[in-house]
Chain A
Amino acid sequence: MNWLLLLEQILNGFQLGLLLFLLAAGLTLVFGIMDMVNLAHGSLYMMGAYFCATFTGWTGSFLLGALLTLPAVFLLGIIVEVVALRTLYARDHLDQVMATFGLILFFNEATRLIWGPIGLVIPLPDFLNQTVEIIPGAPYPAFRLAIIIVGFLIAGLLYLIVSRTKLGMLIRAGASNREMIGALGINIRLLFTLVFGLGAALAGLAGLMAGPILSVEIGMGEGILILTLVVIVIGGIGSIKGAFIAAILIGLIDTVGRSFLPEILDLILPSQTAATAAPAISSMMIYLLMALVLAIKPQGLFPPKGVGR
């Protein structure tokens, strides 16, 4: 086994995991606090990437572009919440699924209309577009390292917000018992709008960071949305801590599994069979993990306190 490759894949796993966490953090709060299924979260991620590509083009700087993107996606999230989603909180899940599915169609088509069917490229500044030797002999792309650092910083910041501030207290209270905080005189509508905007900004951040590595294209939010849903379900809906642990777990299993499963299978199965089965099995692994978790704990690993009675 190649240890340097393993190290690199583990870092890649963290990088994917932290991107997933940025998406999952916002989504799990929307699910948990508002009991709302929002499939359009992936669209906000896509808009983050497209906005950043455009703003980077205007300003000529990726960092400036990224800084402009965050408030833009925050605003977009608030507009979406006020115009379309607000009326859906009281509806059942089926209605929410359909309406947000309609939003996905709308966003994809609007993106095609505005930016055209061909994907965009986000150019990186030189200092991010190089490799860093983390340990001697193991070069690693600086931008991916930056994603990992930003991901951990945001995770820490979110932890502080949720566990130390008044807003965080309301968010935790909302995830455990929505009706009660409303009865205690908290302006729930405002809280919902703020949380939705915050979640949108985090999704936009994930999108703008994924943009330079993957490609900025229509429908880019849909594949990662499913992964995010798996993360949320494994972590327990409404739990930021659960989302973090599950996101890292999924990121590692998916990335490391994809690169090492063929070798592992080769040890057990005839090589012909192993070569055919490996790609199929490695893409199934995270879903098997989810099935296993739900079979044992139907509420996920870390359901918020008070949920799952």
Chain B
Amino acid sequence: MSLSSRQVINSALLVFLAALPFLTDWVGDSFYTGLVARILILAIAALSLNLLIGYGGMVSFGHAAYIGVGAYVVGIGAFHAFEDGIDWMLNGYVQLVAAILGSAVIALIIGAISLRTRGVYFIMITMAFSQMLYFTAVGVETYGADDGLSIYSRSDMLGLIDLNDEKSLYYLIYVSLLVVLYLMHRLVGSAFGNVIRGSKSNEARMRAIGFSPYKYRLTAFVIAGAIAGYAGFLMANLNDFVSPDVMHWTRSGDLIIMILLGGMASLFGPLYGALAFLMLEELLSSIPLTVGGLRVGEYWQLLFGPLLILVVLYARNGVDSFLPGARKGS
């Protein structure tokens, strides 16, 4: 079996990511391990959203809500373990199951209502539901409301893996990313994936050959929500903190930006997009140029906003279109 040059690039990236903690050890600056860990978690969430947007044509603008649900499960568990001494709530496996099930159930409810609508309505209603969860989190005083919850102890994985060790946590995140990539690869190529993609390109034809897209779309919506919930579980453990801000609608916008920057049509797109997004943020905000006494980097969004518009207008497939073997056209 020979690899295409695109596969070589993808594999090189994965190898590089696997070696990263040791590279930063060698450089002596572990800041980048944390940054990349954050990127990889966002990549997991973006990958799950790409199942909806890229393959299914369902522009969900509330995906950050499920990250929030997963993150709050960890936060609330740690809170009760710490305040009330309920030890089982710190159990990582309980938290993991609760994070995934919780976000899946919420995705099921939101999806069941939202998927009855089309187009602009669907975008708006998913966004509004995520804001509803956001305001709920803001309103609950017990769990810190606006200020969020500090997580005093990370999920207890019963000795199997120690999440307090930054390297172990990084590799858990890294392996999770590989699993999600593989899952997406299998899912998109399966009969289920064909129905999802078929419903995007021609719903009428899909119905004519006997499929009811609603059930399939709802299933995809729940799968994506559950994966995002898992990303939230990882995120809370990495940050030791959860606040309503993770669910804010602009966070959902960030996820869509990642998908767009990376290229929707490919499996690895969201990973490249998440890398590009946070790298751009780091790069633009550290531009050393000073104009009229103002540091340009401090106003990086002034450049990022128009850049986003240019990507939308002229580089539809983002990073993906610069890799060898890119599909022509949109």
The digit string for B198-217, where 1 denotes a CB below 8 A from any CB of A, is 00000000000000000000
Which of A106, A226, A279, A295 sits near B305, CB closer than 8 Å? A106
Residue of B136, B139, B294, B309 touching A84 (CB-CB under 8 A): B309
Please tell me which stretch of B6-14, B36-44, B116-124 contacts chain A, meaning at least 4 of its Cβ atoms lie within 8 angstroms of it.
B116-124
Contact (Cβ within 8 A) A233 B136? no
Query: CB-CB < 8 A to A84: which residues of B?
Result: 309
Inter-chain contact B249/A237, CB cutoff 8 Å: no
Asked if A37 contacts B120 (CB within 8 A), the reply is yes
B283 on the A face (CB < 8 A): no
CB distance from A299 to the nearest CB of B (A): 8
Cβ contacts A55-72/B at 8 Å (1 or 0 each): 000000000000000000
B121 and A94 form a contact (CB under 8 A): no
Give complex CA distance A290, B53 in Å.
23
Determine if B140 is an interface residue (Cβ-Cβ < 8 Å).
yes
In residues 41-70 of chain B, which contact A (Cβ within 8 Å)?
53, 59, 61
Which chain A residues (80-106) contact chain B, with CB distance < 8 Å? 84, 87-88, 91, 93-95, 97-99, 101-106
On whether the beta carbons of B308 and A291 are closer than 8 Å, the reply is no
User: In the complex, what's the smallest C-beta–C-beta distance from B123 to chain A, in angstroms?
Assistant: 6
Q: Does B271 contact A (CB under 8 A)?
A: no
* Distance from B68 Cβ to chain A, minimum over Cβ atoms (Å): 14
Indicate if the CB atoms of B116 and A35 lie closer than 8 Å.
no
Residue of B128, B140, B253 near A233 (CB, 8 A) is: B128
> Quick check: is B299 within 8 A (CB to CB) of the other chain?
yes
Give Cα distance in the complex from A222 to B135, angstroms. 14
B129 touches A279 (CB 8 A): no
B301 contacts chain A at the CB level, 8 A cutoff:
yes
From 271 to 330 in chain B, residues with beta carbon under 8 angstroms from any chain A beta carbon are: 294, 299-302, 304-309, 311-313, 316
DSSP majority for the B interface? Answer: helix
Residue of A nearest to B304 (CB): A105
B77, chain A: closest CB distance, angstroms: 19
- Tell whether, in the assembled complex, residue B257 and residue A109 are in contact, meaning their CB atoms are under 8 Å apart: no
A305 contacts chain B at the CB level, 8 A cutoff: no
Q: How far is the CA of A87 from the CA of B135 in the complex (A)?
A: 35
Q: Is B132 an interface residue (CB 8 A)?
A: yes
At the interface, yes or no: B190 with Cβ under 8 Å from chain A?
no
Q: How large is the interface on B (under 10, 10 to 19, 20 to 34, 35 or more residues)?
A: 35 or more
* Chain B residues positioned under 8 Å from A99 (CB to CB): 308-309, 312-313
Question: Is A134 part of the contact surface with B, judged by Cβ < 8 Å?
Answer: no
Q: A298 with B116: in contact, given A102-B306, A106-B306 (CB under 8 Å)?
A: yes
Distance from B269 Cβ to chain A, minimum over Cβ atoms (Å): 14
A280 within 8 A of B: yes
B128 pairs with A98, CB closer than 8 A: no
Judge if A108 is at the interface, Cβ distance under 8 Å: yes
Chain A hits for B312, CB < 8 A: 88, 91, 95, 98-99, 102
Question: A280 near B307 (CB under 8 angstroms)?
Answer: no
Q: Which residues of A contact B294 (CB under 8 A)?
A: 113
Q: Which residues of A contact B118 (CB under 8 A)?
A: 298
- Do A279 and B127 touch across chains, with their CB atoms under 8 A apart? no
Contacting residues, chain A, for B141 (C-beta < 8 A): 276, 279
Q: Are B121 and A233 in contact (CB under 8 A)?
A: yes
B164 in the interface, Cβ–Cβ < 8 Å? Answer: no
Q: Answer yes or no: B100 CB below 8 A from chain A CBs.
A: no
A249 to B208, CA, bound (A): 41
Is A294 in the interface zone, CB < 8 Å from B?
Answer: yes
Nearest Cβ in chain A — how far from B260, in angstroms?
A: 5
Q: Are B305 and A104 in contact (CB under 8 A)?
A: yes
Given A37-B120, A94-B53, A113-B294, are A276 and B140 neighbors across the interface (CB < 8 Å)? yes
7 contacts between A and B (CB under 8 A): A88-B312, A93-B123, A99-B308, A101-B256, A103-B305, A229-B127, A283-B132
